[in-house]
Amino acid sequence: MAKIVPFKAVRPARDKVSLVVSRSYDDYNPAELASQLDYNPFSFLHVLNPAYINLLKASAETRFKSVHNKYAEFKEEHVLKKEADAVFYLYEIHSKNRVYTGIIAGTSIEDYQNNVIKKHEDTLPYRVEYFKDYLHMTGFNTEPVLITYPENKELEQWIGVKKQKRPLYLFTTLNRDKHTLWRVKDKAEILWIQEQFAAMESLYIADGHHRSASAEMLYEEDKISGNGNLNYFMSFLISENDLKIYEYNRIIHDLNGLTKHQFLHALAKDFIVENKAQELWKPDAKFSFGMYLDSEFYALRLKETQFGSVLEALDAQILYEKVLHPLLGITDLRNDSRIEYIPGSKPITQIKQMVDEEEYEVGFMLFPASISEIKELADNNLIMPPKSTYIEPKIRSGLVVYEL
C-alpha cells in the first residue's frame, strides 16, 4: 500500500563529497558556522546561508532567493551534479555506537494524506508555512524525512548483499562517523524494492513532521502546475529495529515558589521518592524518572501505573500531568520560557552542571519511549507532547538533494 519512487537526485561531485556535506544548519553554533563559511568554500552551508553576514536582517523572500541562486552556482561550478536517471540510494551511517542503514527515496503525498504514512507529533502552522515558502522559492530540499517501516527480512537480506558492492561514496566526517552511499539504478532492482514497500500497510514518520507537512502544503498550492515532483517528498526509510530513540530530558528554572521540602513532599503523593545522593542516576524502566535537585539525584517511581490509553501512559505525559503542570505551573510545554529540553544523547552531567550553576533549579531525566508506543499513538491518531523523542540517525545536508 505504500508507494515509493526513485528520483533524479542532485549530489556532490565524488571528489568533493566530504567537503560539501554538513550537519543540519541549526546544529552549528556561531563560531562553528563562521569557521565553515570562512574556510570551506565547498560546504553546503554556503547554499543554506549565502553571504550570511549581509542576509541576517534580510526578508525571508530575499534569503530564499539567495539560497536558490547559490544552489544554482554550485551546480554551474560542478560542485553538485544531477543524476541522468531516476534512482534509489542505499545509505549507511556508521557511528561509534551504532550502524544505521536505509533507503533514500521519494514518498507519496497521497500516502501522507491518506494516513498510510502516519504521524505522532503536532506541527506549528507558522513553521509549516515558512518551510513551504522556502521549498517554493529555493526549488529543492536536502533534508529527508526520517520514516520507519516494519521489520522486513527480504529487504534486510537485500541490504546485506548490496553493501558488499562498490559504493558511490565512502567518506568520514569530523565527528568520526563513516558514511557510505550506494546507487540503486537497475530497473528490476528498483521495481523489486517498490514491491516490498507496496506490501506494507503503513509507514511511520520518526522525524520530520514539519518538513512533510510543508511538502503537502506546497503540493496543494502548486499541484495545478503539473510538476510531478510535488507529488512526493524525499525520505530516508529505515527499519524500525534500526532506529535509536532517545528521550528529551527537562530542566526547569524554578520550583514555582515551593521550597525543596514542600516540593519533595508534593512529589510523594504520586511517586516513591528515593534519594540517590551523588549517584548519576538515570531511569532504568518505564514509569520511573530521574531528578536532580539541590546537588542530589533522586529516583522517582510512579505508584499507580494503570492508564486508559497509550498517551496517558507515556512517560512524558505523566511527568506533565503529575509534576510540571500541577506542581511547577507549566501549562505550555512548547512556549513556556521556564522549561528547556536536553536530548537524551547528551550526558546527564550536562543537566547536573546547568543546575549546579544555578540558572536552573531542577532537572528531570526520562526513560525513552519505545517504537511500539510511537506506532500505537500514530495508529490511534494521538499526538505526543512536545519534545518527547529525539530520534537518530540525523542525515547530513547536501548529500542528496530532491529538486521540486
**Helix (H/G/I), strand (E/B), else coil: 332:** coil
Model pTM above 0.85: yes
Same domain, 197 and 345: no
Q: pLDDT of the chain along its 404 residues, tens only?
A: 899 999 999 999 999 999 999 988 888 888 888 888 889 999 999 999 886 556 556 788 888 999 999 999 999 999 999 999 999 999 999 998 899 999 999 999 999 999 999 999 999 999 999 999 999 999 999 999 999 999 999 999 999 999 999 999 999 998 899 999 999 999 999 999 999 999 999 999 999 999 999 999 999 999 999 999 999 999 999 999 999 999 999 999 999 999 999 999 999 999 999 999 999 999 999 999 999 999 999 999 999 999 999 999 999 999 999 999 999 999 999 999 999 999 999 999 999 999 999 999 999 999 999 999 999 999 999 999 999 999 999 889 999 999 99
**Helix (H/G/I), strand (E/B), else coil: 254:** coil
Q: Rg (Cα) of the chain, in Å, rounded?
A: 23
Same domain, 201 and 301: no
Q: How many CB atoms lie within 10 A of CB 175?
A: 8
- How many Å apart are CA 140 and CA 307, to the nearest integer? 44
Contacts of range 63-68, beta carbons closer than 8 Å, 24 or more positions apart: 64/133, 64/134, 64/137, 64/138, 65/137, 67/134, 67/137, 67/138, 68/137, 68/138, 68/139
CA angle 145, 148, 152 (to 5 degrees): 140
pLDDT tens digits, residue range 183-233? 999 999 999 999 999 999 999 999 999 999 999 999 999 999 999 999 999
Same domain, 237 and 286: no
Measure Cα distances from 2 to 5, 91, 390 in Å: 10, 20, 25
Measure Cα distances from 84 to 8, 11, 81, 137, 229 in Å: 7, 12, 9, 24, 16
Domain count, the chain: 2
Q: Which domain holds residue 358?
A: 245-390
Same domain, 269 and 377: yes
Dihedral pair phi/psi, residue 280, rounded to 5°: -75, 85
- How many Å apart are CA 215 and CA 197, to the nearest integer? 21
Measure Cα distances from 47 to 171, 172, 201, 398 in Å: 21, 21, 38, 9
Same domain, 254 and 397: no
Q: What is the DSSP string of 133-201?
A: HHHHHH-EE-S-EEEEE---HHHHHHHHHHTTSPPSEEEE-TTS-EEEEEEE--HHHHHHHHHHHHT-S
Same domain, 32 and 165: yes
What's at 402, amino acid-wise? Y
- Pair 267, 273: CB distance under 8 Å: yes
Same domain, 193 and 251: no
Same domain, 221 and 365: no
- Pair 77, 68: CB distance under 8 Å: no
State the CATH number of the domain containing residue 124: 3.90.1530.10
Pull the grid cell for residue 273: 521518592
Same domain, 72 and 163: yes
State the CATH number of the domain containing residue 276: 3.30.1760.10
- SS3 string, 85-113, reads CCEEEEEEEECCCCEEEEEEEEEEHHHHH
Same domain, 251 and 204: no
Pull the grid cell for residue 82: 544531477
Same domain, 26 and 164: yes
* E strand spans, 278-326: 288-293, 296-302
Same domain, 128 and 270: no
